[in-house]
Structures are given as C-alpha cells and as structure tokens.
Amino acid sequence: MADDPQRNFRSTYYEKVGFRGVEEKKSLEILLKDNPLDVEKLSTFSQRFPLPSMYRIHVWKVLLGILPPHSDSHALVRQYRVDQFEDVSGALTVMRFIHASTPQTEIYLRMFQLENHTLPRRTELRPPDAEDENFLAIARAMEEIVDDPVDCFWLVRCFINQFKHKFGDSIPHLPKSLEHFLSQEDVCLLSHLKASGALASLPYSLWFRRCFAGCLPESSLQRVWDKVISGSCKILVFVAVEILLSYKIMIMGMNQPDAVYHFLTNMPQENTDAIVTKAIDLWHKYCGTPMHSV
C-alpha cells in the first residue's frame, strides 16, 4: 500500500512541534477540555511526552498553581494575578526601589523579595548574592519564553518556589547522582574528571540551582523545564551527563579544572536540542516515567 502523503505531512508536522503522533495531540486536547482539569494527568502527560509551544505556557500555569483546575474561573484568577502584580510593583515604585528604567528582571526580583519579606532597606542595597543571581538567571530565561510581564513574573515566582519546596533537600545530592549515572555510561570519562580534579568543580550551581538557565538556549531549556515543572529534578542530572558525554573528546583533552569549567559555562549552542533529546531518553531509561521523581 502506497504511503499517504497527507498522513506523512501531518506526522512530520506534529513531530516538529513536539508530538510524535496525532493521538498524543488529541489526548492533550481532551485533557485540557476537562473541567476541572486533572492536574495529575497533565503532569503525567508532560513527563511522558514533549509539550509543544502552543500549549506549554498554559500547562505550566496549571501545574504551578497559577491557574486553578477549574477552567471556568481562569479569567477571574488571571485578573487577580494582574491586580496583585500592579499592586506590588506600584508599592515598590512608591518606595523608590524601582523606576521607569529598571530592568524587568530586577523588578521581578524586588517583587519576589517584598512578598517573601527579604527586601533590604534602600540604604542597605547591595549587589545580588548567589541566590539573587540564580533568580535573575531564571527570570532572564523565562523572559525569552514568555512575552507578557505579568505571566513572566508569576511563572518565575511559582517555578522558583515550587523548585525550592519540592527539591530543596535533593539539590545537594544531585552531583553524586551525576557521578553515579556517568559511571554507568562512561567510566573512562568519569575517571578523567576525577583524576584532573574537574569533577569537584563542574558548574553545579548553573546546572542544578539555575536549572540550566543561561546555559541552554530557551528552545532547548523549556523542554527540560517541562520535566522539572511536572515533578522531576532528576532530569537535570541527565542533561548534565549528556553534556559531558557529548563533549567527551574536548573534555578528555583538558587537564585543568578551570579549563573544563570555562568550557562548560560557555559551551557551544549548536546541538543543544540533540543533547536534551538524548538526556530525556536517558531519564526514561533509568527512571521510567516517575510521577514524583527526584
């Protein structure tokens, strides 16, 4: 039987936008029509399949609790979010913490600090510390993904709060997990990293505390964040493992930890989509499709 050109075209299109088949698209559309939305099923879908851009932000909002499961209240809740954004940013303007030329990401940071009672006195303002820099890196990446500043703030705020709440105790153990899985994939590379002293000085903060913000381009990054937002921080480990495997030849030629660190914090951006795809395959290989994997 001859191939159906129309069917082949559809399959190619859905593969390009993130679906491996038409049935996955139909399944997600059915899930998004439920009222109330089944958050657990959405989370499972996001872990099993990639989310295309046409649905991603809406699914993130639901999974992060920005929008409630009952879709008939989304418009009202959205207005509440806008009002709160304007109230908090307005208060910061009155207090002269922000002004017309303040970068949007800094506004998000000050809003986050005010809501968390960590806003310093104006007379005690200091350069951003490590935690602030992590926030700003994630905010800059989210700004490239989301156009609307209100949506951007809420996504950054809730993403960071969820990440700390769910995975805060797990983050310090991720470097050890990386070592374990790298030993399963390439013991020679692991031995070189240990012998050169580079294993202890890999850019763990960039990878595991910033969730690769500032390391991967947004087109690749959002696929990683799909998995983090839907319930797994272990995906971060497999992205790190796959980065090391992908640049093995170059890393094996480096004997100084500083050289390895500099390369990995300024890695080429050309093949990051392939790296993330392989990392997701590794994640499924070792973790299956966990609901609450850490």
Same domain, 78 and 181: no
Same domain, 214 and 156: no
CATH code, 145 = 1.10.8.680
Instruction: Check: CB of residue 205 under 8 Å from CB of residue 197.
Output: no
- Alpha-helical (H) ranges within 95-148 are 104-115, 130-145
Burial class (CB in 10 A: 0-12, 13-18, 19+), 270: exposed
Backbone angles phi and psi of 213, in degrees to 5: -65, 130
The answer as to whether 28 is a domain residue is yes
CATH code, 27 = 1.10.10.750
Return the closest-CA partner of residue 264 out of 244, 285, 284.
244
Its domain, for residue 218, covers 171-287
Same domain, 179 and 162: no
pLDDT tens, residue by residue, 65-98: 999 999 999 999 999 999 999 999 999 999 999 9
pLDDT tens, residue by residue, 178-231: 999 999 999 999 999 999 999 999 999 999 999 999 999 999 999 999 999 999
pLDDT tens, residue by residue, 123-161: 888 899 999 999 999 999 999 999 999 999 999 999 999
Return the closest-CA partner of residue 138 out of 97, 116, 105.
105
CA dihedral 174, 176, 177, 182 (to 10 degrees): 130
Same domain, 162 and 175: no
CA-to-CA separations, 279 to 188, 207, 241, in angstroms, rounded: 19, 13, 8
The answer as to whether 27 is a domain residue is yes
- Among 35, 63, 91, the domain-final residue is 63
Same domain, 153 and 114: yes
Supply 192's token pair.
């070189």
Supply 138's token pair.
């994630």
Spatial distance between the Cα atoms of 72 and 90, rounded to a whole number of angstroms:
29
pLDDT at 240 exceeding the cut of 90? yes
Spatial distance between the Cα atoms of 105 and 88, rounded to a whole number of angstroms:
14
The answer as to whether 6 is a domain residue is no
pLDDT score for 172: 96
Same domain, 148 and 200: no
Supply 175's token pair.
């470097």
Same domain, 133 and 118: yes
| pTM beyond 0.85, yes or no | yes
Same domain, 184 and 255: yes
- Among 166, 193, 216, the domain-final residue is 166
Instruction: Check: CB of residue 154 under 8 Å from CB of residue 78.
Output: no
Spatial distance between the Cα atoms of 118 and 97, rounded to a whole number of angstroms:
13
pLDDT at 293 exceeding the cut of 50? no
pLDDT at 176 exceeding the cut of 80? yes
Q: How many domains does the chain have?
A: 3
- Among 32, 63, 94, the domain-final residue is 63
